[in-house]
Amino acid sequence: MENILSQRVLNMAESATLKMTQKSRELKAQGVDVISLSIGEPDFNTPESAKQAGIDAIKNNDTHYPPVPGTPALRKAIAEKLRRDNGLDYQDTDIIVSNGAKQAITNTFLAIIDKGDEVIIPSPYWVSYPEMVKLADGTPVFINTTMEQNFKITAAQLEAAITPKTKAFIFSTPCNPSGSVYTREELASLVEVFKKHPQIIIISDEIYEFIQYEHKHESMGQFTELKERLVIVNGVAKGYAMTGWRIGYIAAPKAIVSACNKIQGQYTSGICTIAQAASLEAMQLCPENSDEIKTMLKAFRNRRDLLFGLLKEIPGVKINMPAGAFYMFPEVKSYYGKTDGKTVIKNSEDLSMYLLFDAHVATVSGGAFGCDDCIRLSYATSEDKLREAMRRIKESLAKLK
């Protein structure tokens, strides 16, 4: 049958992070010793207290339909977390719980975007933002950044990207894929621009909040003058090593929360009760009071320092030191145009594939994040694996002439 699929899905790119992860799983299943630096997920276990809460929820038959926006207890705990960790003033009714930060962001776009509305996205960006905007019939507008500016936009760049059609702005700090973190002053300079354009809704993805190496997290929420048009995105996946539980949320103006509630009520309903119970327990933890989180952060810092040193030793690779998340985003374009005798490496996708099949190391092409000069490496894996991965990458790159 022809034309079975909609233009909507035909126009959509496949998620590059998930595609590479699937490819490396397939190779592993064939017996190939693949080291995966592709997907961004902590290699630590969910905190014991959260796991126990999930088990208790099952035993206590907490297995019926949950309220669509999340259980009252979890929404309250999230409001409390925003007060404790970020000094922000939100009520439980300002919060909606979704199936991961991914659904939370998609709901938000569906709630605010009309056909042709523009959404500004600093590049490099997380792979799914533009596709989510397109799904909502919006138009992504990119602001390019360079390694020299630590992949962070300036107020002047933001101002220049705004048009009468701009409806929203989305970014992540700490940033996936660059690991860059905006300082308070840098955020404040962007806020000055937003103040001149009151029609723009700001979506601040803060999912890597806990994973920072220089400073404590600076939330966009501290700029209370934006509160009526600010959507804070977060979840339990990264900070609490709970990727598989699929719990994300937004804290946002009531109109947006209630629109997301309406959308979610029609197509997914409330989120798994067991995952919500586990997340409620996780919310009691933060880097200040949890040894499990502290151990994880210490390991990420050591791995960052190790990987930075190893990457710097590879000829033709340029790298900056990220201040957060668990990604490195090295520039590798000096290898484009070179060949191993069989294939010519034309771009980051080719290089990423070459490294997968020659070095058996899975990375993600920078092109998928809007920056074809680079590739993304996730260092959420052991130091031994990182050392071995870098040895292999160095060897494979040296074959390119």
- Measured in degrees and rounded to the nearest 5, phi and psi for residue 395 equal -65, -45
Q: Is 353 in the site for ligand GLU (CB under 6 A)?
A: no
Rounded least distance, CB 385 to ligand GLU, Å: 17
**Which listed range, 14-22, 60-68, 156-164, 346-354, lies at the site for ligand GLU (CB under 6 A)?**
14-22
Q: How many CB atoms lie within 10 A of CB 135?
A: 17
Burial label for 286, CB within 10 Å (0-12, 13-18, 19+), is: middle
Q: Is 17 in the site for ligand GLU (CB under 6 A)?
A: yes
Q: Which C-beta is closer to ligand GLU: that of 17 or that of 279?
A: 17
* CB-CB contact of 13 with 131 (8 Å): yes
Rounded least distance, CB 242 to ligand GLU, Å: 13
Sole binder of ligand GLU in the list 176, 279, 290, 396 (CB under 6 A): 176
How far apart, in whole angstroms, are the C-alpha atoms of residue 119 and residue 109? 9
Give the end-to-end CA distance of the chain in Å, rounded to a whole number: 46
Place of tokens 């119970």: 277
- Measured in degrees and rounded to the nearest 5, phi and psi for residue 279 equal -70, -35
Eight-class DSSP state of 65:
P
Q: Which C-beta is closer to ligand GLU: that of 109 or that of 126?
A: 126
Eight-class DSSP state of 174:
S
Q: Which C-beta is closer to ligand GLU: that of 16 or that of 77?
A: 16
The residue whose Cβ lies closest to ligand GLU is 40
In sign, the C-alpha dihedral spanning 22, 23, 27, 32 is negative
Q: Is 343 in the site for ligand GLU (CB under 6 A)?
A: no
How far apart, in whole angstroms, are the C-alpha atoms of residue 194 and residue 201? 9
Q: How far, CA to CA in Å, does 153 sit from each of 142, 144, 146, 149, 166?
A: 11, 8, 9, 8, 17
Count of residues touching ligand GLU (by CB under 6 A): 10
Amino acid letter, 210: F
Q: Is 39 in the site for ligand GLU (CB under 6 A)?
A: yes
Q: How many CB atoms lie within 10 A of CB 208?
A: 24
How far apart, in whole angstroms, are the C-alpha atoms of residue 264 and residue 279? 19
Q: Which C-beta is closer to ligand GLU: that of 167 or that of 217?
A: 217
CB within 8 Å of 352: residues ≥ 6 apart:
20, 363, 364, 365, 375
Sole binder of ligand GLU in the list 40, 122, 324, 370 (CB under 6 A): 40
Rounded least distance, CB 169 to ligand GLU, Å: 20
Q: Which C-beta is closer to ligand GLU: that of 226 or that of 368?
A: 368
Rounded least distance, CB 243 to ligand GLU, Å: 7
Q: How far, CA to CA in Å, does 311 sit from each of 170, 329, 397?
A: 30, 10, 12
How far apart, in whole angstroms, are the C-alpha atoms of residue 194 and residue 155? 9
Q: Which C-beta is closer to ligand GLU: that of 127 or that of 211?
A: 127
Amino acid letter, 350: D
Rounded least distance, CB 261 to ligand GLU, Å: 23
Rounded least distance, CB 17 to ligand GLU, Å: 4
Q: Is 173 in the site for ligand GLU (CB under 6 A)?
A: no
DSSP percent split of the chain into helix, strand, coil, nearest 5: 45, 15, 40
Q: Which C-beta is closer to ligand GLU: that of 90 or that of 327?
A: 327
Q: Which C-beta is closer to ligand GLU: that of 178 or that of 219?
A: 178
Q: Which C-beta is closer to ligand GLU: that of 208 or that of 354?
A: 208
Rounded least distance, CB 333 to ligand GLU, Å: 21
In the range 76-135, which residues lie near ligand GLU by CB under 6 A?
A: 102, 126-128
Rounded least distance, CB 103 to ligand GLU, Å: 11
Rounded least distance, CB 125 to ligand GLU, Å: 11
Q: Is 15 in the site for ligand GLU (CB under 6 A)?
A: yes
Q: Is 279 in the site for ligand GLU (CB under 6 A)?
A: no
Q: Which C-beta is closer to ligand GLU: that of 126 or that of 223?
A: 126
Residues interacting with ligand GLU, by CB under 6 A? 15, 17-18, 39-40, 102, 126-128, 176
